[in-house]
Chains A and B, each alone.
Chain A
Amino acid sequence: MKNKTLKLILAALPLLLFSADSWGQAAGEAGGNPYFYDSLFSYGMLFLVAAVFIAALAALYNLLNIMVKVQQIRIYQEQGIEAYVEETRKPEQSFFERLYKRMTNVVPVEKEEDILFDHEYDGIRELDNVLPPWWVAMFYITIAFGVVYYTYYHFTGAGPSSTEEYEMEMERAEKAVQAYLSTQANQVDETNVELLADEQALAAGKSIYEGKGTCFTCHGMYGEGGIGPNMTDPYWIHGGGIKDLFKTIKYGVPEKGMIAWKDQLKPAEMQQVASYILSLQGTNPPNPKEPQGELYQQVDNAAPADTSSTEVKQEGEAIGMQ
Chain B
Amino acid sequence: MAQVEKFSYDNAIVRKFAYASIIFGMVGILVGLIAALQLVFPALNLGIPETTFGRIRPLHTNAAIFAFVGNGIFMGVYYSLQRLLKARMFSKALSEFHFWGWQAIILAAAITLPLGITSAKEYAELEWPIDLAIALVWVAFGINMFGTILKRREQHLYVAIWFYIATWVTVTVLHIGNNLELPVSLWKSYPVFAGVQDALIQWWYGHNAVAFFLTTPYLGLMYYFLPKAANRPVYSYKLSIIHFWALIFIYIWAGPHHLLYTSLPDWAQSLGTVFSVMLIAPSWGGMLNGLLTLRGAWDRVRQDPVLKFMVVAVTAYGMATFEGPMLSIKSVNAISHYTDWTIGHVHIGTLGWNGFLTFGILYWMLPRLFNTKLYSQKLANAHFWIGTLGILFYAIPLYWAGWTQSLMWKQFTPDGFLQYGNFLETVTQIIPMYGLRALGGTLYVAGYFVMLYNLVKTVQSGAFIGDEAAEAPPASTWAVHAGKEHWHRWIERRPVQMLIASTIAILIGGIVEIFPMAMIDDQVPRIESVTPYTPLELEGRDIYIREGCLGCHSQMVRPFRSETERYGEYSKSGEFIYDRPFLWGSKRTGPDLHRVGGKYPDSWHYNHMMDPETTSPGSIMPPYPWLLRDELSTKNTAAKIRTLQKLGTPYPDGYDQIAVDDLQKQAKMVAESLRKDGIDAEKLEEKEIIALIAYLQKLGTGIKPAPQAGN
Q: Please give the number of chain B residues whose Cβ is less than 8 angstroms from any Cβ of chain A in the complex.
A: 74
Given contacts A124-B228, A149-B274, contact A170 B234 (CB under 8 A): no
Cα of A214 to Cα of B240 in the assembled complex, Å: 60
Minimal beta-carbon separation of B380 from chain A (angstroms)? 23
Q: Please give the number of chain A residues whose Cβ is less than 8 angstroms from any Cβ of chain B in the complex.
A: 60
15 examples of A-B residue contacts, CB within 8 angstroms: A121-B84, A122-B83, A124-B227, A126-B237, A128-B238, A139-B281, A146-B275, A150-B274, A169-B560, A214-B616, A218-B601, A227-B607, A256-B601, A257-B602, A289-B678
A24 within 8 A of B: no
Please state if A132 and B83 are interface contacts (CB–CB under 8 Å): no
Please state if A181 and B415 are interface contacts (CB–CB under 8 Å): yes
Please state if B415 and A123 are interface contacts (CB–CB under 8 Å): no
Other 6 A-B pairs with CB < 8 A, given A139-B281, A149-B270, A149-B277: A122-B228, A124-B234, A132-B236, A150-B271, A166-B564, A180-B414
A123: chain B residues within 8 A (beta carbon): 228
For residues 410 through 442 of chain B, which have their beta carbon under 8 Å from a beta carbon of chain A? 412-418, 421-422, 425
Please state if A257 and B600 are interface contacts (CB–CB under 8 Å): yes
Please state if B282 and A130 are interface contacts (CB–CB under 8 Å): no
Cα of A117 to Cα of B154 in the assembled complex, Å: 16
A138 within 8 A of B: yes
Please state if A138 and B415 are interface contacts (CB–CB under 8 Å): no
B296 within 8 A of A: yes
B603 within 8 A of A: yes
B71 within 8 A of A: no
Cα of A58 to Cα of B285 in the assembled complex, Å: 37
B565 within 8 A of A: yes
B181-189, B261-269, B448-456: which one contacts chain A? B261-269
A135 within 8 A of B: yes
Cα of A181 to Cα of B227 in the assembled complex, Å: 67
**Which of A129, A154, A256 sits near B236, CB closer than 8 Å?**
A129
C-beta contact mask, B108-131 vs A, less than 8 Å → 1, else 0?
000000000000000000000000
A98: chain B residues within 8 A (beta carbon): none
Please state if A264 and B422 are interface contacts (CB–CB under 8 Å): yes
B133 within 8 A of A: no
A306 within 8 A of B: no
For residues 105 through 151 of chain A, which have their beta carbon under 8 Å from a beta carbon of chain B? 106, 109, 112, 116-117, 119, 121-132, 135-136, 138-139, 142-143, 145-147, 149-150
Minimal beta-carbon separation of B307 from chain A (angstroms)? 15
For residues 156 through 179 of chain B, which have their beta carbon under 8 Å from a beta carbon of chain A? 156, 158
How many A-B contacts are there with CB distance less than 8 Å?
175
Minimal beta-carbon separation of A256 from chain B (angstroms)? 7
Please state if B233 and A127 are interface contacts (CB–CB under 8 Å): yes
C-beta contact mask, A150-190 vs B, less than 8 Å → 1, else 0?
10011000000111011001100100110011001000000
A92 within 8 A of B: no
Q: CB-nearest residue of chain B relative to A173? A: B561
A184: chain B residues within 8 A (beta carbon): 415
Please state if A217 and B604 are interface contacts (CB–CB under 8 Å): yes
Instruction: Report A's interface with B, CB cutoff 8 A.
Output: 106, 109, 112, 116-117, 119, 121-132, 135-136, 138-139, 142-143, 145-147, 149-150, 153-154, 161-163, 165-166, 169-170, 173, 176-177, 180-181, 184, 212, 214, 217-218, 226-227, 254-257, 259, 263-266, 289
Please state if B274 and A254 are interface contacts (CB–CB under 8 Å): no
Minimal beta-carbon separation of A90 from chain B (angstroms)? 26
Interface of B is mostly: helix
Minimal beta-carbon separation of A234 from chain B (angstroms)? 21
A212: chain B residues within 8 A (beta carbon): 421-422, 425
Please state if B615 and A135 are interface contacts (CB–CB under 8 Å): no
B92 within 8 A of A: no
Given contacts A142-B277, A217-B614, A227-B607, contact A163 B416 (CB under 8 A): no
Cα of A147 to Cα of B235 in the assembled complex, Å: 31
Cα of A139 to Cα of B86 in the assembled complex, Å: 36
Please state if B270 and A132 are interface contacts (CB–CB under 8 Å): no
B598 within 8 A of A: yes
**Which of B246, B288, B296, B604 sits near A227, CB closer than 8 Å?**
B604
Please state if B415 and A162 are interface contacts (CB–CB under 8 Å): no
Q: CB-nearest residue of chain A relative to B559? A: A166
Q: CB-nearest residue of chain B relative to A262? A: B417
Given contacts A166-B559, A256-B711, contact A131 B227 (CB under 8 A): no
B280 within 8 A of A: yes
B251 within 8 A of A: no
Looking at B84, B233, B239, B564, which has the most chain A CB atoms within 10 Å of its CB?
B233
For residues 261 through 302 of chain B, which have their beta carbon under 8 Å from a beta carbon of chain A? 261, 266-267, 269-271, 273-275, 277-278, 280-282, 284-285, 288, 292, 295-296
Q: CB-nearest residue of chain B relative to A122? A: B83
B267: chain A residues within 8 A (beta carbon): 154
Cα of A254 to Cα of B604 in the assembled complex, Å: 13
Cα of A256 to Cα of B203 in the assembled complex, Å: 39
Please state if B603 and A227 are interface contacts (CB–CB under 8 Å): yes
